[in-house]
Amino acid sequence: MQKKGLWIVVTGLDGTGKTTLKHRLVGFFKERNLRVKDFKFPYDKHLLELLNNTVGDGLPWQDNYSDQMLFALDNRILGTVHIRDWKNASDVLISQRGYIDSFVHGECRGFSYAESDKLQRTWELERCSAMIHLNADPVVAFNRIKDDPEADKFETLEYIKKQAKATKKAYDSLVNEDPALSAFKGIPNIYIDTTDLTCQETFEIALKELKKLSLI
């Protein structure tokens, strides 16, 4: 396995199994007696509350730019001191979502990658070791989460349709080394369409791809 501080990001569309895959990866590494840090973006509880209840959704006192600033602030809280320290203290970090999600959500709300990168200053943040992008047919994804009592404001069918396209575009842009995503250059990307997959099948594919990259 890669040296201490391996950081795997599980990103992608809501309703594709990110939470389940993250939990299974955490279990996989813990079974091997490795020290694992398990976390998710957004991380700061106060900022998360603001995102869900205070800004966005197009109400008169709310705006999408405020959402992007909150994502940027949360990324900076995580991507400087916290993740640096967790890398030093842990063998493996597994996160649900990552910096790239700010670019995907920005795309859904009309922000270019260049605009998001200027706000995020992603190049100053700690780098992950690999990103696993989960995507699916948006109707299938929505049906998986539509009855979730803890659903956030982004988990609507209309938004998920936008997010599915933006998720695939982000993956393609990373693979093709879009200059606006240069902060992610060199980070391996794994893409899994979970439309017709069980959680176990998704997990097995993820392990297979991580092994190919010699990360596990």
* CA-closest candidate to residue 66, choices 153, 184, 170, 157: 153
Q: Which domains does the chain have, with CATH numbers?
A: 6-212 (3.40.50.300)
Q: What are the tens digits of pLDDT across the range 89-110?
A: 999 999 999 999 999 999 998 9
Q: Which two tokens stand for residue 148?
A: 């979730």
Q: Is the pTM of this model over 0.85?
A: yes
Query: How far apart are alpha carbons 77 and 166 in whole angstroms?
Result: 25
Instruction: Verify cis geometry, omega within 30 degrees of 0, for the bond prior to 179.
Output: no
**Residue-wise pLDDT tens digits, 141-169:** 999 988 776 666 677 889 999 999 999 99
